[in-house]
Chains A and B, each alone.
Chain A
Amino acid sequence: MQKLMINGQEHDLDVADDMPLLWVLRDVMGLTGTKYGCGIAQCGVCTVHLDGQAVRSCVLPVSAVAGRKVTTIEAVGEQAVGQAVQKAWLDHEVVQCGYCQSGQIMSAVALLQEHPKANDEQIVNAMSGNLCRCATYTRIRAAIKSVSQA
């Protein structure tokens, strides 16, 4: 039995210790906003926040998050920075296919929470773990900068 704090709610779930958080979110809880892309922390589409830090949920055993705060794309808009980033994503028409954008947004929000005035270098460092096969990087940069320079 795992005691999890997800998006502000406590859950007791009967899942194996080594099951990655990603599959607990998607297949056990039905929170499908967090995506699967590689399973080896190479693409970033599974990014969630663990105590406010961006982490790749595809390689994070669920036992490692017990008692810690997990935030997913479904709830990130409840935070001011999350809301600002989602709005910037729409204002800058970042999205193409959209499959990676949950992860991109989670990485961007974590960056801006830590560095509200993030500069170019910090943006590149924080975002280069997130692949986008549609290659929307031009607009991701612009959207983040619009928040960090606001």
Chain B
Amino acid sequence: MSESQTPAAMLSRRGLLKGSALLGGLVIGTYLPASVTRSFAADLVKGASLGDNAEQGYGAFVRIDHSGAVTLISPKIEMGQGVQTGIAMMVAEELEVPLSQITITEAPPNAALYTDALLSFQATGGSTSTRYSWEPLRKAGAGARIVLIQAAAMRWKVAPSQCHAENGRVIGPNGQSAGYGELVDAAAKLPLPTEIPLKAVSEFKLLGKPVQRLDTPNKVNGTAKFTIDLQVPGMLIASTLTCPVHGGTLRGVKNEDAARKVPGVRDIVRLNNAVAVTASNFWSCQQALKALDIDWDLGPHAGLNSAQLDKSLFDASAGDGVFAHQSGDIAGALKNASSRFEAIYEQPFLSHSPLEPMTCVAHVRADACELWVGCQAPGMAQAGAAKVCGMPVEKVVIHNQLIGGGFGRRLESDFIFQAVDIARQLSYPIKLIWSREEDMTHDRYRPHYVDRLNAALDKDLRPVGWEHRIAGASVVAAYIGALPADGVDGDAVEVAKDPIYTLPNLQVRYIRHDPEVIPVSWWRGVGPLRSTYAIECFIDELAHNAKVDPVKYRLALMQSQPRAQAVLTKAAQLVEWDKPLPAGSGRGVAVTAVFGSFVATIVELEKQGEKGLRIKRLVTVIDCGFATNPTSVASQMEGGTLFGLSAALFNEILIEKGQVQQTNFHEYRQIRMSDAPPVEVHIVDSVETPGGVGETGAVPAAAALVNAVYAATGVRERRLPLSRFGYFTV
């Protein structure tokens, strides 16, 4: 692979030069794959001479010990997306070891070694893991193989080209054979070559094959440990009640005696906006919290409600904001248009609600702060924890863990900081576990948005001008504290400013409007999901207005996007799009290009009872370039599609009196097996550079669903979720 074809080079073209961004304007770094892989040499030295010596610190990605065992230090956390298996496959492929010979350990926070060049910080998110890893992790494996072969060749006094590696061994020209473990000492003294050639796709033995994930056997027998399952010596359970009104604080606590009478209770800890109880078990924590008489200062937002928030955003959305993109002459196009069409789409606040609630084990001692926590952004967690406990960053040790559902929630560290705040007041380690109610009412929410689209149409009702206003909170600013000088949130306008459709006169405006007090953050699918929803519903409306088949209407506008055309065409073929359905049934489609992948999803609905609708069929076609592990790609598309549908069908976080109204799953319904049929996934065969799949499936689901509702009922809904209009409420 030449330098210009690397994901990073593609990113620098698409991302840096054009100013786009994958995870919202965070692309500010320079990608230097050589510097990342070269640290492998130092790493191999440590691996060879010291074995597992944590005091020396980890190197980069690969260590090999004297027994030949390979340790992969994973820069990416496993939260169900299968990424650690995928990365291990990359290393195994080039290192020529069986996958079973690789043990995976979590990378500690270390910006120098583990910064994701696509994100510019150490994190797992934005569907970047495979894209980021594709070159450096294969090079880490290949580099190790090269020096191991050199070491063997020196020993046997033959040329390296006469030797080859297989199955964790180097084989010589006369049948000589040496295991990697025997060679690491000599190999560690050799410099890594400056050029590390990689296998061509046609040479892959492992990559591209469906491989069973390495983390799953322990997840079917109860032995896998998530953060919530950890036990450290002397630890007690902690749980909190946070002021129900966002922005409120703790004034005082009464009735402590009753709380202390609950068996197993140890301490009651006051925080700025919460009370914590520690006990031998979670149940006692909850009983004690209930027994307390807590006096809250509800603060300045105790009158806040959803109606105000929504009106404020809706009013703001009519404003001009800042330009995120301008090409052609939109004013001229609108003026000279044969006709115009305008529509407004609204998407609600959403909670992440992973099934493992926020939880963190924390031990703050005089000399260090030790944390065991599944987190998507360990560097940010470390830096923030250091501030809370008043220690230098290097005194905060983070042991990253398996994550019981991320979806963006664990890019945030608020619960980690709370755990540190409690633990710094105690002499023993705690495991903070949020109740589901704390988790749902104190999430950091996907913000609500208003998208206004305005099209200038020619006499055939095709768009010749396209004006898109995006109004909502800046998640980028919420996450990193500021926006770039142009005031554009790169995440919010992604896809909208670079649509798959050829639109000669395109203008995208960004109107930043942060909600009062309600915290906001990343949510699976991020900005591309929001933009895709609005664009794919709008284009569907244009097609129906023009009385043109929605697939054909799209295809005609996608001439410059062959991969997008191909996924759409394939999806239509799979459902026999041209075959009419019975009255009351309908199909909806959406297609988009996101996270380096192309995806088309079709939802088929049928009538159920008098007014009801039922999802009859779900088909999604994904072109993610080369599929490193096709099983993981299919799984992500199946789950992602239903994740997107779940929110579009049912979910909306509402605020009354400054408090989140949805407290648990009886008030925040999630899609269940009874709600949906199996998802049919088709993966396009491709040798293109891998694209992302973790978020991709969720992106087109809502638009396809809403378009299907129109096809089935003739009613066009533009606001989510659909349950607010009485659909799918049975």
A interface residues (Cβ-Cβ under 8 A, vs B): 16, 19-20, 23, 26-28, 30-40, 42-43, 45, 72-74, 77, 86, 89-90, 93, 95-102, 105, 123-125, 127-142
B16 beta carbon closer than 8 Å to chain A: no
Q: Which of B269-312 contact A (CB under 8 A)?
A: 280-283, 286
Q: A89-B220, A95-B219 are in contact. Are A128 and B283 (CB under 8 A)?
A: no
**B354 near A40: Cβ-Cβ < 8 Å:** no
Q: A96-B635, A100-B355 are in contact. Are A134 and B643 (CB under 8 A)?
A: yes
Query: Main SS of the interface on chain B?
Result: loop
Q: Which residues of B contact A139 (CB under 8 A)?
A: 635, 638
**B664 near A42: Cβ-Cβ < 8 Å:** yes
Q: Which of B607-664 contact A (CB under 8 A)?
A: 631, 635, 638-643, 646, 664
Once bound together, how far apart are the Cα atoms of A26 and B282, in whole Å? 9
Picked from B212, B643, B676, the residue with its CB within 8 Å of the CB of A90 is B212
Q: Which residues of A contact B80 (CB under 8 A)?
A: 95-98, 134
Q: Which residues of B contact A137 (CB under 8 A)?
A: 642, 671-673, 676, 678
Q: Which residues of B contact A73 (CB under 8 A)?
A: 221-222
B228 beta carbon closer than 8 Å to chain A: yes
B670 beta carbon closer than 8 Å to chain A: yes
**A98 near B673: Cβ-Cβ < 8 Å:** no
Once bound together, how far apart are the Cα atoms of A98 and B226, in whole Å? 9
Question: Which one, B139-147, B400-408, B459-467, B526-534, is touching chain A?
Answer: B400-408
Picked from A19, A101, A125, the residue with its CB within 8 Å of the CB of B283 is A19
Q: Which residues of A contact B283 (CB under 8 A)?
A: 19-20, 23, 27
Q: Which of B215, B222, B225, B404 has the most CB of A within 10 A?
A: B222
Q: Which residues of A contact B665 (CB under 8 A)?
A: 38, 40, 42-43, 131
**B220 near A95: Cβ-Cβ < 8 Å:** yes
Query: Smallest distance from the beta carbon of A35 to chain B beta carbons, Å?
Result: 7
Q: Which residues of A contact B436 (CB under 8 A)?
A: 37-40
In addition to A37-B355, A133-B353, 18 A-B residue pairs with Cβ atoms within 8 Å of each other are A16-B263, A33-B223, A35-B226, A36-B282, A37-B436, A72-B222, A95-B213, A97-B354, A131-B672, A133-B405, A133-B407, A135-B639, A136-B639, A137-B642, A137-B671, A137-B672, A138-B678, A139-B635
Q: A20-B283, A32-B225, A100-B355 are in contact. Are A138 and B670 (CB under 8 A)?
A: no
Q: A36-B357, A136-B635 are in contact. Are A128 and B672 (CB under 8 A)?
A: yes
Q: Which residues of B contact A28 (CB under 8 A)?
A: 281
Q: List 28 A-B contacts (CB under 8 A).
A: A19-B281, A26-B282, A27-B283, A35-B404, A36-B357, A39-B286, A39-B436, A42-B665, A45-B355, A86-B221, A90-B216, A97-B80, A97-B356, A97-B404, A98-B219, A98-B220, A99-B355, A99-B356, A105-B220, A124-B674, A132-B355, A133-B354, A133-B670, A134-B643, A135-B641, A135-B671, A137-B642, A139-B635
B interface residues (Cβ-Cβ under 8 A, vs A): 79-82, 212-213, 215-217, 219-226, 228-229, 231, 237, 263, 280-283, 286, 353-357, 402-407, 433, 435-436, 631, 635, 638-643, 646, 664-666, 670-674, 676, 678-679
A-B contact count (CB 8 A): 171
**A33 near B215: Cβ-Cβ < 8 Å:** no
**A96 near B280: Cβ-Cβ < 8 Å:** no
Q: Which residues of A contact B678 (CB under 8 A)?
A: 137-138, 141-142
Q: Which residues of A contact B215 (CB under 8 A)?
A: 95, 98
- Chain A's closest residue to B406 (CB) is A97
Q: A131-B672, A138-B678 are in contact. Are A96 and B639 (CB under 8 A)?
A: yes
Picked from A20, A90, A102, A140, the residue with its CB within 8 Å of the CB of B222 is A102
